[in-house]
C-alpha cells in the first residue's frame, strides 16, 4: 500500500510558524512520526511539500497508478483552490483532508474547504496527530475500496 502525503504552502515553516496555532513540531518531525506508524502497518509513505499550487496539482495527477490514497494538508489552498479540487476529482484517487488546527473554530474564511466535497473525509484540529490519524484513515479507505 502506497500513501502520498501532500503538504501545501507555509507548512515548511512548521515549528517556527505561529506555534500557538500549529504547535512546535516541524514537518520533518511529523514525517518521522508518520513513518514510524506506517512501518507498523507495513505501508509505504511518500511526503511532499510545496508552496506552489501547480506543484500540488501535478503531484496529484502523477499519483494516478502510483499511489493508493492521498492524505492532503492543502493549507491555505484548501480554502481557495478549485484546481486542487478538480485534480482530486479528475484522478479519482481517494483522498483524506487533514489540518493541524481546527479550521472550523477559526476565522470564517477557513470554514469553507474547496476540496472537502471530493475527499472521503476531513481530520482537523489534532495537531501533529492529525497526520497519524490521516495515515490510519488512508489505510482504512484502501482496505474498504
Ligand atoms: C492549516 C489550516 C489552514 O487554514 C491554513 O491556511 C494552514 C494550515 C492547518 O493545518 O491547520 O496553512 O491547513
Summarize pLDDT for 109-127 with one digit per residue, the tens: 999 999 999 999 999 999 9
Give the distance (Å) from ligand 1 centre to CA of residue 119: 16
Among residues 22, 67, 77, 131, the one annotated as catalytic is: 22
pLDDT band at 145 (very low <50, low <70, confident <90, very high): confident
Give the integer Cα–Cα distance in Å for 58 and 125.
Answer: 27
Give the binding-site residues of ligand 1, using a 6 Å CB cut-off: 10, 73, 75-76, 78, 99-101, 103, 110
Give the integer Cα–Cα distance in Å for 67 and 99.
Answer: 21
Summarised one tens digit per residue, pLDDT across range 77-111 is 999 999 999 999 999 999 999 999 999 999 999 99
> pLDDT value at position 46?
98
Q: Which residue has a Cα nearest atom 3 of ligand 1?
A: 75
How far CA 23 is from CA of 11, 15, 74, 103, 133, in Å, comes to 12, 6, 17, 15, 17
Task: Give yes or no for a contact between 84 and 119, defined as CB atoms under 8 angstroms apart.
Answer: no
Q: Which of 5, 68, 63, 8 is nearest to 35 (CA)?
A: 5
Q: Which residue has a Cα nearest atom 8 of ligand 1?
A: 75
Residue 131 is among the residues annotated as catalytic for this protein: no
Pocket test for ligand 1, best of 49, 75, 119 (most atoms within 8 A of CB): 75
- DSSP letters, 61-105, are HHHTTT-SEEEEE-GGGGGT-HHHHHHHHHH---EEEEESS-GGG
Give the integer Cα–Cα distance in Å for 15 and 29.
Answer: 9
Summarised one tens digit per residue, pLDDT across range 76-85 is 999 999 999 9
Amino acid at each position: 500500500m502506497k500513501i502520498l502525503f501532500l503538504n501545501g504552502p507555509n507548512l515548511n515553516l512548521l515549528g517556527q510558524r505561529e506555534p500557538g496555532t500549529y504547535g512546535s513540531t516541524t514537518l520533518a518531525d511529523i514525517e518521522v512520526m508518520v513513518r514510524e506508524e506506517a512501518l507498523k502497518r507495513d505501508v509505504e509513505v511518500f511526503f511532499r511539500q510545496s508552496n506552489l499550487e501547480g506543484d500540488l496539482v501535478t503531484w496529484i495527477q502523477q499519483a494516478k497508478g502510483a499511489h493508493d490514497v492521498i492524505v492532503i494538508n492543502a493549507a491555505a489552498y484548501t480554502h481557495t483552490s478549485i484546481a486542487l479540487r478538480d485534480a482530486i476529482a479528475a484522478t479519482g484517487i481517494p483522498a483524506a483532508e487533514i489540518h493541524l488546527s481546527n479550521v472550523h473554530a477559526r476565522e470564517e474564511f477557513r470554514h469553507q474547504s474547496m476540496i472537502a466535497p471530493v475527499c472521503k473525509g476531513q481530520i482537523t484540529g489534532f495537531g501533529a496527530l492529525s497526520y497519524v490519524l490521516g495515515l490510519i484513515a488512508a489505510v482504512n479507505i484502501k482496505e474498504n475500496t
